[in-house]
Amino acid sequence: MLAALLFFAAMDVVAKFLAQTFAVPLLVWARYLVNCVLMLIFVTPTTRSQMLVTERPWMHVARSLLLVGTTFCMITALGSMPLAETTAIGFTAPLIVSLLAGTFLNEKMGRVRWFAVVIGFAGVLVIARPSGALSGTGTLLALGAAICNGAYQIFTRKMSPTENTTTMIFYTALIGALVMSLTLPWFFGGTVPSLFQMLLIASLGINGLIGQYLMARAFRRAPASTLAPFTYSQMVWAMLLGWIVFDQLPDALSLVGMLIIVCSGVAVVWLERRPVTPMDDF
């Protein structure tokens, strides 16, 4: 999980840089196309048709579309928002997972857990306060990415026990590439990328594929509640890389909001790891 998040942080840095020059749908398309091509080259020779075998084809479609939505909203938000703050808002996804788990995973949610989730979203309000410098549209897009990511994680948790990791990743790449190909007539053209920019665009798919594979393997080897606290390491990488590459650091209030999100997320994870007691309904 720690390694996966490092690759995701690197992908966000490159995406933010490229979004200043290229249309976001083009970057999203390239990300999934590279994923798909790499899998066909390196994975197909060993797995052959087994990679296509699945018991839940429509769940793969839904899961893939959610990840495409996550990528699209996040890259668009990064185009107008600092890296650290955008990443922090995106990290409300575990709180959204907690909300959705009651409906889709039959997990009971007590009042204390509800309180922790509400406090977490209050952290978003601190980061995106009216007196702050963040884009309102960018903030909403980052929240949209978190919602899509939360639903994507629910699908991943439901499918991991029966679906092969390679199959899950391949369908995500294939469906993402096919769906985004439909947008190319409207967004393809304009600036011709240089060789360096082409390598950066390709790295979106490489980093995304490696990170996605490592995360899927992590969910197969450990409970989500055990892995969740480690996900906040990406926020540290985002602050460090945002400072090094873009000379952007969050202000004091944004750091407070980020800390609130982290603390509420850890609290939710701790509550998920124990059974609901009468005190939770206090």
Structure tokens at 190: 């304009």
Determine how many CB atoms are found less than 10 A away from the CB of residue 100.
18
Mean predicted confidence (pLDDT) in 45-66: 82
- The torsion of the CA quartet 100, 125, 13, 93, rounded to 10 degrees, works out to -10
Rounded distance, CA 213 to CA 211, Å?
Answer: 5
Average pLDDT of the residues of the chain: 83
Provide DSSP, 155-196.
HHHHHTTTS-HHHHHHHHHHHHHHHHHTTHHHH--SSPP-HH
Q: Token match 């890389």: residue?
A: 241
Distance, in Å, from the CA atom of 196 to the CA atom of 31, rounded to the nearest integer, reads: 16
Burial status of residue 20 (CB atoms within 10 A of its CB: 0-12, 13-18, 19 or more)? exposed
Residue 282 has pLDDT above 50, yes or no: no
Give the pLDDT of residue 109: 67
Which whole number is the average pLDDT over 250-278?
74
Please report, rounded to a whole number, the percentage of residues in the chain having pLDDT higher than 70. 87
Is 177 in contact with 33 (CB distance < 8 Å)? yes
Q: What is the pTM (predicted TM-score) of this model?
A: 0.84
Cα radius of gyration (the chain): 19
Tens digit of pLDDT for each residue in 236-261? 888 888 899 988 888 888 888 888 88
- Containing 216, the helix (H) or strand (E) segment is helix 195-221
Spatial neighbors of 214 by CB under 8 A, at least 6 apart, are 1, 3, 4, 7
34-53 tens-digit pLDDT: 988 988 888 777 766 677 77
pLDDT for 131 equals 62
Distance between CA 192 and CA 6 in Å, rounded?
29
pLDDT at 189: 65
In this predicted model, what pLDDT tens digit does every residue of 169-223 receive, in sequence order? 888 889 999 999 988 877 766 677 889 999 999 999 899 888 877 887 887 788 7
